[in-house]
Structure 1
Amino acid sequence: MVERVRAWAPDVPLVREVFHATMTGHAYPAHTHDTWTVLLVDEGCVTYDLDRHPRTSPQRRVSLLPPHVAHDGRSARDGLGFRKRVLYLEADWLPPTMTGRAVDQPVVPRARGLVEELHAVLDGPADAWQSESLLLGLRDVVLRHDAGADASDAPSAGALRDLLDAHVTDGLSLEEAGRLLGRSPAHLARTFTQTYGIAPHRYLVGRRVDTARRLLLRGTSVAETAVEAGFWDQAHLTRHFRRTVGTTPARFASGR
């Protein structure tokens, strides 16, 4: 696998992380983020399953992936890689009602120019005002594209997700969750997987990887990050981090 990765956390409201990557041969496993993912493919073509529905992000097009919805990713062309730029934006950047629309139609027309300009601003010394203006403009483009679709979660799945989010680093067993929610562990696991398209344990790993990304971008060592993010040790972090992000924690941190 050939890879080039840059990642940083700009001091800009609503922007959690900027991630640039060139990948050849890497396939992302199913995972989720607690952010909106704004994906721009510069070269190649990316195919992925979003909430168990096959989707494609063509070259030079912007795709929008909602928070807490499972997705994977790979090159659409065997033997060829792709180059992408990604913005991870806070969950309150868009209203929750946009989730269903983004799952059904993730490619957003007329958004590339704004996203290109936003990346150009974030690639230098952070200009918070200009970034905020561009993000508001991009938000307007997305909302105009919205057809008013709504989304609803099974109550027990949503309650379990809230519990997992509250116990990212210390963890929470399904037995404990079942006692707290008055549901059987089997029922919770089944409902969660049906609702979000990802098993609870894989969801929790994804949240821990997201926590590790933030710590690494702040300059925390890989060993300390493993402990603070809830992994057993550095090797455990590296295995899951590489599987999810496509690179090791050390190489991710070196691109800050």
Structure 2
Amino acid sequence: MSANPEVTAWRPPVAGLAEVFHAHFPDHAYPMHTHDAWTLLLIDDGAVRFALDRQEHGAIRPLVTLLPPHVPHDGRSATPHGFRKRVLYLDTTVLDAALAGRAADHPALPDPLLRRRVHQLHETLTRRTEPLEAESRLSLITTRLAHHLSRTEPVTRRDRPLAKRLRGLLDANVRSGLTLASAAAVLGANPAHLVRTFSREYGIAPHQYLTGRRVDLARRLLLAGVPAAEAATAAGFYDQSHLTRHFKRLVGVPPGRFAR
């Protein structure tokens, strides 16, 4: 008897992401079908063979696979034990529609850095965390995808004033947080350029900087005698467990032990 499939799917509150889909299929075969979104696929176990635009392709663990919207494709396991995959369905707004033809011709992307970034975004989305982190990671991913599909080098330049302005914006919103889109709108900058500029200038991603500021604020509250649960929400974390995860990673001990 075949093992049962395992499927988890959800729609995260992140602009540009239509759906997250994790699945293990022991013997499932997809018929020919289309999606109205870009399909960004990681294979974690096994391998998949698929036809896309009447051409045969394969998806394996080292590769990132990108399928364009509205282009028919199927899919079946290339191994006897099935396959395990993680998929991000990206809104059509995140990539230029003119790049769809290139993606249909070359859906397999042998890019270890891109695969690592997609994996990190999946990990971010699996846990409840600051939306800015997911938005930042997605922005870097879509920029790299566009680079692959257009075969042009992304523009990189130092912009210290912009990085400093973003830091000021983060400092002013430690408790409330902010989205990457809202920061980009306030600063009049491209979201991906914002993330790259800040990371180059300060050696840390914007979401990591914001988390550090929140941990610092929580430390001050804890030392002032505020209970950990109250300190967590007052510092901008979702709850005490959210604070504990980041606090222990940055400080080395849980909040309760730190306070004692």
Give the TM-score taking structure 2 as reference length: 0.55
Give the superposition deviation at 1:80. 2.1
Alignment of 1:177-192 (within 5 A): none
Q: CA separation in 2, counterparts of 1:11 and 1:95?
A: 22
Q: Is the Cα–Cα contact under 8 Å of residues 101 and 148 in structure 1 kept in the other structure?
A: no
Partner of residue 116, structure 2: 113
- After superposing the two structures, state which structure 1 stretch, 113-122 or 125-134, moved more: 125-134
CA contact (8 A) 2:30 2:74 kept: yes
* SS in structure 1 of the partner of residue 97 of structure 2: coil
Indicate conservation of the 8 Å contact 1:22/1:82, yes or no. yes
2:24 counterpart of 1:59? no
Contact persistence 1:64–1:106 (CA under 8 A): yes
| 1:98 correspondence with 2:99 | yes
Tell me, yes or no, if the aligned pair for 1:43 and 1:60 is still in contact at 8 Å: no
Match of 1:70 among 69, 72, 87: 72
1:118-133 to structure 2, matched below 5 A, reads 118-133=121-136
What's the counterpart of residue 188 of structure 1? none
Other-structure match for 1:194: none
Runs of 4+ in 1 over 4 A off after TM superposition: none
- Sequence identity (%): 45
What is the rounded CA distance, in whole Å, between the counterparts of 2:33 and 2:42 in structure 1? 19
Give 1:1-256 correspondences, 5 Å limit: 1-2=2-3, 3-77=5-79, 79-110=80-111, 111-147=114-150
C-alpha distance after superposition, 1:193-243 (max 9, x if no partner): xxxxxxxxxxxxxxxxxxxxxxxxxxxxxxxxxxxxxxxxxxxxxxxxxxx
Provide the rounded CA distance (Å) in 2 between the counterparts of 1:10 and 1:85: 14
Q: What letter corresponds to residue 73 of structure 1 in structure 2?
A: G
**Conserved? CA contact 1:65–1:102, under 8 Å:** yes
TM-score (norm 1): 0.55
The count of aligned residue pairs is: 148
Within 1, Cα distance between the matches of 2:124 and 2:7?
A: 19
- 2:237 corresponds in structure 1 to none
CA distance in 2, matches of 1:140, 1:147: 10
RMSD of aligned C-alpha atoms? 1.5
Give secondary structure in 1 for the equivalent of 2:50.
strand
Q: Following TM superposition, by how much is the alpha carbon of 1:19 offset from its aligned partner in structure 2, in angstroms?
A: 0.5
Query: Residues of 2 paired with 1:143 and 1:40: CA distance?
Result: 18
Counterparts of 1:46 and 1:115 in 2: how far apart (Å)? 18
Gaps of 5+ in 1: 150-256
Which segment is superposed worse, 106-115 or 62-71? Answer: 106-115
| 1:22 and 1:83 in contact (8 A); partners too | yes
Deviation at 1:39, TM superposition (A): 0.4
> Take 1:107 and 1:127, find their aligned partners in 2: how far apart are those partners?
31
Conserved 8 A contact 1:97-1:148: no
Distance in 2, matches of 1:12 and 1:120, equals 14
> Per-residue deviation at 1:148?
6.0
CA contact (8 A) 2:99 2:150 kept: no
- Measured in 1, the distance between the counterparts of 2:40 and 2:130 equals 19
The answer to whether the Cα contact below 8 Å between 2:15 and 2:135 also exists between their aligned partners in 1 is yes
Shift of 1:87: 0.5
Q: Looking at both structures, which has the greater relative contact order when contacts are Cα pairs under 8 Å and sequence separation is at least 6?
A: 1
